[in-house]
Structure 1
Amino acid sequence: MLELIQQLDEGALWWIAQHLRMAWLDPLVMFYTNLGNGGLCFIAVALLLLVFRQTRKSGATALTALAFGAVVTNLTIKPLITRPRPWVVMEDFVCLVTSSDPNSFPSGHTTAAFAFGVALFLTVKPKWAKAAALAAAALMGLSRLYVGVHFPTDVLTGAVIGTCCGILASWVVRRVSERCSRR
Structure 2
Amino acid sequence: MNTIKFIQTFANPALDNFFILFTNLGGETLGVIFAIYFLWFKDKRYGYKLAFGLSFSLLINNFIKIIVNSPRPIGTKGIRSLAVNTATGTSFPSGHSQGNAATFTSLFLQFKTKKVLLISIIMMILIPISRLYLGVHWPIDVVCGSIFGIIAVLISNFIYEQAIKNNIPYLYLILSIILLLSLILFRSSDYIKAIGGFISISLGYYIDTKYIKYNPNSTSKNNVIKLFLGLFGLLIVLSLCSFIIPKGYIRDFVKYFSLGIWASCIAPLIFMKLKLSN
Category of TM-score, reference length = shorter chain? 0.7 to 0.9
Match of 1:124 in 2: 111
Structure 1 residues 123-174: Cα deviation after superposition (integer angstroms, max 9, x where no partner): 1243312332342233211211111111100000101100101111222222
1:109 aligns with 2:96: yes
Match of 2:34 in 1: 45
- Percentage of matched positions with identical amino acids: 27
Instruction: Using structure 1 for the length normalisation, give the TM-score.
Output: 0.81
Query: Is the 8 Å Cα contact of residues 5 and 78 (structure 2) preserved in structure 1?
Result: no
Residue correspondences, number: 167
Gaps of 5+ in 1: 1-9
Query: Is the 8 Å Cα contact of residues 30 and 103 (structure 2) preserved in structure 1?
Result: no
AA aligned to 2:22 is Y
From 129, 133, 156, the equivalent of 1:146 is 133
From 136, 143, 153, the equivalent of 1:156 is 143
AA aligned to 1:27 is N
> 2: distance between equivalents of 1:115 and 1:21?
28
Gaps of 5+ in 2: 169-278
Query: Helix, strand or coil for the counterpart of 1:150?
Result: coil
After the TM superposition, which parts of structure 1 deviate over 4 Å for at least 4 consecutive aligned residues?
A: none
Query: Is the 8 Å Cα contact of residues 114 and 134 (structure 1) preserved in structure 2?
Result: no
Higher gyration radius (CA): 2
Q: Report the CA distance shift for 1:157/1:171 in structure 2 as closer, same or farther (over 3 A).
A: same
Query: Helix, strand or coil for the counterpart of 1:87?
Result: coil
Match of 1:58 in 2: 46
Query: Is the 8 Å Cα contact of residues 64 and 92 (structure 2) preserved in structure 1?
Result: yes
AA aligned to 1:94 is R
From 67, 80, 87, the equivalent of 1:94 is 80
Q: Which structure has the higher relative contact order (CA within 8 Å, separation 6+)?
A: 1
Structure 1 residues 36-76: Cα deviation after superposition (integer angstroms, max 9, x where no partner): 36x333212211112244x43432222111111111111x1
> 2: distance between equivalents of 1:66 and 1:162?
8
Match of 1:30 in 2: 20
Query: Is the 8 Å Cα contact of residues 54 and 103 (structure 2) preserved in structure 1?
Result: yes
AA aligned to 2:5 is W
Query: Is the 8 Å Cα contact of residues 104 and 120 (structure 2) preserved in structure 1?
Result: yes
Query: Is the 8 Å Cα contact of residues 35 and 50 (structure 2) preserved in structure 1?
Result: yes
AA aligned to 2:14 is W
Query: Helix, strand or coil for the counterpart of 1:24?
Result: helix
AA aligned to 1:143 is S
